[in-house]
Amino acid sequence: MNLPNKITLFRVILVPVFVVLMIWGNGIIPHNNIVSCVVFCIACISDFFDGYLARKWQLVTNFGKFMDPLADKLLVCAALIIFVELKYMPAWAVVIIISREFIVSGIRLIAADNGTVIAANMLGKLKTNAQMFMAIFMILNIDNPVFVVIKTVLFWASIILTVVSLVEYTYSNRKLFLESK
């Protein structure tokens, strides 16, 4: 268990902390949205550091290749489900985003069954970043017109990148469907 993998696990641990703050902290913790946003941002920043350190120190592991994207999915999906509960986001959008994550995870499982580990690609990372920035604006929930426009642009960018990255991911790994055991 190297440092980058520990950072990834730290991000997983922050997910329930974030959920509790968002759902039960409202009205109990002063400036709950800011505290929740700080926890979410720490989790997002840890995503950068675990990958950076793993590459820099040549500590890339199959565990990290699998758990890093899974930790991202847990964080983003938890936030999205909370946004539906709080009526910040429509359920159809969350269904699209979470469905993509399940499909990609399924492709990764097929690849693992064939002895291949698929690392996250650049388009998937861009999609994750768009979703994380969108989440930050949703968590803060500021009604300023500029914030609303940015939140809307990030929402649609997240949806489009989700669909495009799924198509690209499926297409680039299509041989797995033909060659699977």
pLDDT of 108: 84
Q: What is the pLDDT of residues 91-119, one digit of tens each?
A: 999 999 999 999 988 888 888 888 887 77
CA distances to 42, 106, 120 from 38, in Å: 6, 32, 25
Is it the case that residue 25 has pLDDT exceeding 80? no
The Cα 17–Cα 60 span in angstroms is: 27
Q: What is the pLDDT of residues 111-142, one digit of tens each?
A: 888 888 777 789 988 998 999 999 999 999 99
Residue type, 167: V
The model carries a pTM of 0.87
Can you list the alpha helix ranges (DSSP code H) found in the chain? Answer: 3-24, 32-56, 62-85, 91-113, 122-140, 145-172, 174-179
Residue 41: strand, helix, or coil: helix
Q: What is the pLDDT of residues 152-180, one digit of tens each?
A: 999 999 999 999 999 999 998 888 877 65
Average pLDDT of 18-33? Answer: 86
